[in-house]
Amino acid sequence: MKLLIGGDFVPGKWIGSALERKNYSFLDDFRNLAKDADLSIINLECPFIKNGEKPIEKYGPNLGCDPKAANAVAYAGIGLVTLANNHIKDYGESALRRTIKCCESAGVATVGVGSDNLDASKPFIFNHNGESVGIINCCEHEFSIATESSAGANALDPIKQYYQIKELKREVDYVVVIVHGGHENFNLPSLRMQKNYRFFVDAGADAVINHHQHCYSGYELYKEKPIFYGLGNLCFEDEGNSPESWFEGFLVSINLEKNITFEIHPYIQFKDDKMLKLSYDSKILDNIEELNTVINDDTLLKERLKDYYEKSSINIPMVFDLYTNKFLLKLRYHHLLPSFFNKKLKLRIQNHVLCESHFDKLKYFFTRKLGI
């Protein structure tokens, strides 16, 4: 059985105009690869919204797109979209339900969300030629998570996923776990991510795939099973001043058999010609090999993480600052304004405490920089 898996799909303004014209040619390269796969999967990282629909209150941007995007996804030969991500509930539960319905109407299955946390955790099971694979999809804790009484995304919970993998492996031939998380614009996994994803393999997962960081990462073979730590943006238009890594990524074809094999397909996305174009330049593949060297060396990975956390530490005090306006921040820093607690601050702190990757940086700041 062959799976083709890609990263984050967020239709922006240009894609929106293409959807209006029913022009889906920007996905032709993906479509051609998908013809050779039994199941193609991408991460749909925004809900389908209506004009005038109000976004939820949260820290960070609210993403949404035209429901016509479902037709583009179907055109590309994508059979399943993962929805457990940090933006899928940006416009509330009604938009989430609309997204599921629109995908199903276009013949595209969904996984990773549900009417409550139990429903959201249900795996997607795909049967083909007498074999079966179970797909588990989850994401780190931000503002999209389902609860016991509200719809949303399936939360990353390594212990819960461990038992789910073991149970699912009794029902299907293969299990693949797809996680949405990690440090944005940083191309290596945290030690927590590496430990959790290896834990999933220990439970019986045949492959683990991660996306979210807006850049691709490397991979490792753990107990002969592949763990991909970041695929990069799939179709995510630049809003200005993005680094080169924003435009680069790769698809991965995974052959599920007794000995798991895979192939990487590098691409450039929406850089100059507003297309997803497979790249035959060795640059991306060479860089992946360099990242793999770091991932497979505990000392090197810890050094790179330390450098990243050091650079990130300069922004940590801002998380707890009561002011968000630049002018007010300057006045506050000069003690010309009093402190006060507001809703934006509450949401900012909530996001940094509950989201695993943000909390990794907080822990480093408090232990290494403040000595707590």
Q: How many CA atoms does the CB half-sphere of 298 hold within 13 Å?
A: 2
Instruction: Give me the mean pLDDT over the 184-198 stretch.
Output: 98
pLDDT for 310 beyond 60 = yes
What is the rounded CA–CA span in Å between residue 89 and residue 287? 34
State the pLDDT at residue 314. 81
Instruction: Give me the mean pLDDT over the 250-274 stretch.
Output: 95
State the pLDDT at residue 269. 97
Q: Which residues contact residue 48 at a Cβ distance below 8 angstroms, ignoring those fewer than 6 apart?
A: 64, 65, 66, 67, 69, 70, 95, 98, 99, 102
Q: What is the pLDDT of residues 93-146, one digit of tens each?
A: 999 999 999 999 999 999 999 999 999 999 999 999 999 999 999 999 999 999
Question: Which pTM was predicted?
Answer: 0.91
Instruction: Give me the mean pLDDT over the 38-47 stretch.
Output: 98
What is the rounded CA–CA span in Å between residue 370 and residue 372? 6
**Dihedral, 61, 141, 145, 60 alpha carbons, nearest 10:** -10
State the pLDDT at residue 369. 74
Tokens of 285: 């593949």
Q: What is the pLDDT of residues 60-78, one digit of tens each?
A: 999 999 999 999 999 999 9
CA–CA distance from 135 to each of 4, 33, 293, 351 (Å)?
Answer: 13, 20, 28, 27
What is the rounded CA–CA span in Å between residue 186 and residue 193? 13
Burial of residue 344, with CB atoms counted within 10 A of its CB: 0-12 exposed, 13-18 middle, 19 or more buried: middle
State the pLDDT at residue 353. 87
pLDDT for 334 beyond 70 = no
CB 114 within 8 Å of CB 100: no
**Residue type at position 165:** I
